[in-house]
Chains A and B, each alone.
Chain A
Amino acid sequence: MADFLMLSLVPLVVAVIISLTCALLGNFLVLRRQSLIGDAISHVALPGIVASFLITGTLAASAMMVGAGVAALVTVAMIELIKHLGRVESSAAMGVAFTAIFALGVLMLEWNDASGVHLDVEHALYGNLESLIWFEGQHWLSLFDRQALADLPPQLARVTWVGLLVLAFVIVVWRPLVVGSFDPAFAASIQARPILTDLLLVVMVAITAIAAFEAVGSIIVIAMFICPAAAARLMTNHLGHQIAWSQAFALISAVLGYVLAGYGPGWIGVDASLSAAGMIASIAGLILLLACVFGPHRCRESSQAVSDA
């Protein structure tokens, strides 16, 4: 049991918080058909972090967050620029921008490979949830021990703050966000500032992606954004219910994924553990698959009406 506390509690909690936060924002991305902006932003976290390392020379969390944030903003600006100046269709503009920036990141990383950078492409891509070890977590009583608590990995506090920030954001701008998700033209006409909310949503996605980056890597976080929300979209027509479903799916995929990855091999007698982040993404995908096959609202309204009639 002490093992669990020391090795698994923190990663599990971090995974759950990230999943819930991502799924909350994902609802709006899916409704606005902007899922791929999450894709683009999470890809460019790596170049941002590499650049900030090259400039500051440290792997301090704050510098890395700033670097990744700047990279996300640069990418969004570049996408808009390419879209408007070059009159390029938006998904293609996205593809041009994020692949180029990602390539730059990989190049910088490999270029400085010889000088002993403690960063590698694999971890950036699929994260390292298992490294969040709580050394002082020897006993359940440690949960109430101030000194032991001070030793908790700093990532835990970081993702908690980000989670609270996102929650506050969604509550504060709830109305403009919802109106803008369903009818941007109407939102503009009642001065709900759809462009401002759009931008804020993108910033929130960027912050979440960056916070999640260290733990689950830049590609698997896309699964956390999209899968639970997409699955929830197939379950109900009510936005409140959809968010509730997405949170439930996120919770299930995080817990089940982590447990299966950490303890699954042990159950069949193999002494190894699998990538927890990857397993969480797989479970989230499985949930989406089930929702696609059995979800009560899986069809478009019009086709459903036709089949009903």
Chain B
Amino acid sequence: MSTKTKSPRSMTRRDLLKGATTAVGAFVCGATYVAGPNAAWATEMDALKPETFATLVQMARDIYPHDQIGDEYYVAAVKGYDKPEEVDAISAGIDALNDKAREMTGLEYASIGWERDRVDVLRAMEDDAFFQRIRGGLVTGLYNQKAIWPIFGYEGESFSKGGYINRGFDDIAWIG
């Protein structure tokens, strides 16, 4: 399969996106910081290049997309990789992701407009150790953040409140 052959669809999308990469590449990156597109979050970088980290955050959201969860939780989920001993591994992984993205779409990963096209790139590398490491880390890094539990309705610890014996353990109303 030649990587030089572009499908009509990707050509069309590329044309559409031409000149719009700053809008699509949603993260604002400075020399030592990265900020979300809506200024909802910004974080100082300790080790990773800001654009590397921004791509990692986008990758995290695309792996476990929850539209009701803000970027700050995905940032928190992968911030642990922003340290000197991880720079080589993470940079290499994100470089490979961008290589695959360019090969498949002509764009860098974070500049691809539709989630489905980014997911196609991820699917193409889901057996790689880098992808599996990031995905595996997110299972706890994202879902074990207590701050997101209420967004899913999960109530967490209940012993200190006396359990649910007087707080609705059997309060379901819609079942017979």
A and B co-occur in one complex: no
Residues of B within 8 A of A (CB): none
